[in-house]
Amino acid sequence: MRKFLTLIVILFAGIAISYAQKFPDLAPTPPMGWNSWNFYNCNINEEKVKRMVDAMASNGMKESGYQYIVIDDCWQISRDKDGYIIADPKKFPSGIKALADYVHSKGLKFGIYSCGGKLTCQKRPGGAGYEAKDAQRYAEWGIDYLKYDWCNSDGMASQVQYSTMRDALHKAGRPIVFSLCEWGSTKPWLWADTVGQLWRATGDIQDRFGIGHGVMKIFDEMTKIRQYNKPNAFNDPDMLEVGNMGLTETESRTHFTLWCMMAAPLIAGNNLATMKPDILSILTNKNAIAVDQDKLGLACFLWNKTGDVETWIKPLADGSYAVCFLNRSNNAATINFNWQQLATDPDFHKVYNINGSYHLFDIWGGKELGTTQKPITATLKKHDVLFVTLKKQ
Ligand code: GAL
């Protein structure tokens, strides 16, 4: 009898443990995709989403690694009498399942949005208390990615709410990337690596460069928690504003560079169907993306600061490096950088010695720049970067 009881206990513990986990290896490198919020806000519908799907599937983004098309807030309207979520029939007359099928038919994956609180940030029904039903629906619809927000969650514990949803997703059985969005309010980098594949670590990005909660402010917040970044568990500095109105083309390129240097999720947030070719070429630069997608998942650290120019370095899996010279100032600035100086990673306590024997490749210029045997000199425009890789000779 005792043996039997022990067996039962082990069995139940086993079941509990098997649900208390996230799906393994869904994001070995930072997820790449597009999300509706930065460009459309609440004004989203199935036609617009399909236009973005068609653009991504045909403009080179898909081949560059972008996979997820994610609808953010405002797709949902109410719950039925059994508590299942209902999509707004005016905006999504064909229903979410049909849209997911459409996305899949183009070889892409489909993401959706909800919230751990009672209501979403735009006051649509949230997930609190309905986790199992929502997860079941998402699995039936063929959802591949869930962004889970944190509005209207007064009195709730983030770790509990997000873990409940993680378990519900796992139980529903369809592998779904789980993207936490509690804005860094309860330090998810300390606990969420067992809950989701990525977590927002700051408030919402603003479509600006050096002012407000724009690109530079977020970069500064994120580099303080860089040590928590790793495969399948990424700090998320929020979706890209590349190509949106508030940034010059140079600033868009710098923004993209910094996200690649941080090994950040690359979730475009512009209108993919109408963007200029120059913006598309930023979003699809294969060498920049290779830096972002490097399988170490290491975020950059500061190597040097001279005046307004900072030098950031990101070690890559094959023993090469990505280096970004960043001009923060509102004026042009010159770089004169000697590669011999040691680069000390302050968080992992590693010292890198670039020993004069690396080839330099200018990622945005698309050309070789000599070797690290000589100091590098260049002039950077206001808010510009020089983004290079260093490969062994
Ligand atoms: C915010 C979130 C944004 C967007 C918005 C939708 O909380 O950070 O990225 O999802 O809600 O209402």
The mean pLDDT value for 3-31 works out to: 67
Q: What predicted TM-score, i.e. pTM, was given to this entire model?
A: 0.95
Residue spans per domain, the chain: 23-292, 301-392
Question: Looking at the predicted structure, is the pLDDT value of residue 244 above 50?
Answer: yes
Residues 110-155 pLDDT 10s: 999 999 999 999 999 999 999 999 999 999 999 999 999 999 999 9
Question: How far does residue 213's CA lie from ligand 1's centre (Å)?
Answer: 14
Polymer length of the chain:
393
Count of other CB atoms within 10 angstroms of residue 188:
28
Closest CA to ligand 1's atom 8: 204
Question: Looking at the predicted structure, is the pLDDT value of residue 198 above 50?
Answer: yes
Q: Establish whether 204 is a catalytic residue.
A: yes
Structure tokens at 52: 């973005």
Question: Looking at the predicted structure, is the pLDDT value of residue 19 above 80?
Answer: no
Please choose, from the candidates 173, 183, 123, 172, the residue with its C-alpha nearest in 3D space to the C-alpha of residue 148: 183
Question: Looking at the predicted structure, is the pLDDT value of residue 13 above 70?
Answer: no
Region of 113 please: left (phi>0), alpha (psi -120 to 50) or beta. beta
DSSP state of 226: G
Residues with CB under 6 A from ligand 1: 37, 72-73, 120-122, 149, 151, 181, 183, 204
Among 38, 42, 204, 244, say which to mutate for ligand 1: greatest number of ligand atoms within 8 Å of CB.
204
Of 72, 149, 167, 384, the catalytic one is 149
> Has domain 301-392 been given CATH number 3.30.460.20?
no
The pLDDT of residue 246 is: 97
Question: How far does residue 269's CA lie from ligand 1's centre (Å)?
Answer: 12
Of 204, 207, 308, 347, the catalytic one is 204
Fold of 23-292: TIM Barrel (3.20.20)
Task: Report the distance separating Cα 261 and Cα 249, nearest Å.
Answer: 18
Q: Establish whether 149 is a catalytic residue.
A: yes
